Amino acid sequence: MKITEFVKKELQGWTPAEIIGLLIVLVIILINAFVVKDSPAAILNAICGILYTIIAGKGKISCYFFGLTGSGCYIYLSFANALWGNMLLYLMYYIPMQILGIFRWKKHLKKESGEIIKINLNFKQRLKLSIIALIGCIIAIAVLNYFNDKSPVIDGITTFLSILGMYLTVKRAIEQWIVWIIVNGLSFIMWLNLVIHGAKAYSTVLMWGVYFILAIYFYIMWKKELQNQNL
C-alpha cells in the first residue's frame, strides 16, 4: 500500500465532534504544561498517549506509532517516580505487544476503511480472564509491596489489568475497554496522589483522566458497531 493511500484511510471516519474534542484536549495539555512548567517527558507522553487511545478507538493501525513513542516517555516517568510495576510493564510487555499489534491488526483490516474488524469474547473466555485477573492482581500487589512500591495496591492492579487490556487490544476485543475503564480510573487516582505529594507530572494526571473518559466513549461506540454487525 502506498503511503498516501495509507494516510488517507487513517484519516477517514472521524466525526467533527471527535476532531474538535481532540484539539481541545491537546490545547488544554499544552496550556497546562506551560502554566505549571511540566516536564517534557510528561507532556510528550500525554500527547502521544491520547493520540494512541483515540486512534486505537477508531480502529486505525497507526495508533501503535504513537503508542510506542508514548511508552518510552512513560517508562522514564515511572522510573523517576519509583513505580517499578508500571515501568517494567511498559518496558517488557507494552512495547513488544504494540509491535506485535501492528502485524496482527494488519491481517484484520477492512479494505474500504482501513479499520480493524472488531470482536466479542464469549462467556467462557470472559470467565477465564476474570479468574486470571483476580489471581494476577493479588500476586502483583504482593510482589510490589515486597519491593517497597509507593502505591502497591493500585500499581499492582493497574499493572496486571494492563497486561490483560493490551492482550485484548491486540485481539481486537470490545472487552478491552471495560479493562481500560478500570485501569485508567485507578491510574488517575495514583498519579493525582503523586502530584499532590510533589511529583511534577500534571500532564500525566490529565492524560489518565482523558483516558478514562475515552474508554467509556469507545466502549459505547464499539458496542453499537458490533450490535449493527449482528443485525
pLDDT in tens, 205-227: 888 898 899 999 999 999 999 99
pLDDT (tens digit per residue) in 46-60? 888 888 888 999 999
* 115 phi, psi to nearest 5 deg: -90, 155
Find out whether 192 and 212 touch, Cβ atoms under 8 Å.
no
Confidence class for position 7, pLDDT limits 50, 70, 90: low
| pLDDT digit string, tens, across residues 123-166 | 999 999 999 999 999 999 999 888 887 778 888 898 899 889 99
Question: Which cell numbers hold the place of 181?
Answer: 475503564
- The predicted model scores a pTM of 0.84
Q: Other CB atoms closer than 10 Å to residue 152's CB: what's the count?
A: 20
Instruction: State yes or no: pLDDT of 1 exceeds 60.
Output: no
Residue 25, domain extent: 3-230
% of the chain surpassing 90 pLDDT: 40
Quick one: cell of 13? Answer: 471516519
For residue 8, give the C-alpha cell.
Answer: 488517507
Domain count, the chain: 1
Task: Tell me how far apart the alpha carbons of residues 32 and 46 are, in angstroms, rounded to a whole number.
Answer: 11
Q: For residue 2, is pLDDT > 70? A: no
Exposed e or buried b per residue across 170-201, where buried means at least 16 C-beta atoms within 10 angstroms of its C-beta:
bbbbbbbbbbbbbbbbbbbebbbebeeeebbb
CA distance 35 to 132: 43
Cα–Cα dist 218/38, whole Å: 29
The span from the CA of 103 to the CA of 147, in Å, is 35
Give per-residue pLDDT as tens, 90-116.
888 889 999 999 999 999 988 777 889
CA distance 73 to 174: 27
User: What pLDDT score does 186 carry?
Assistant: 92
Q: Which of 28, 63, 65, 78 is nearest to 209 (CA)?
A: 28
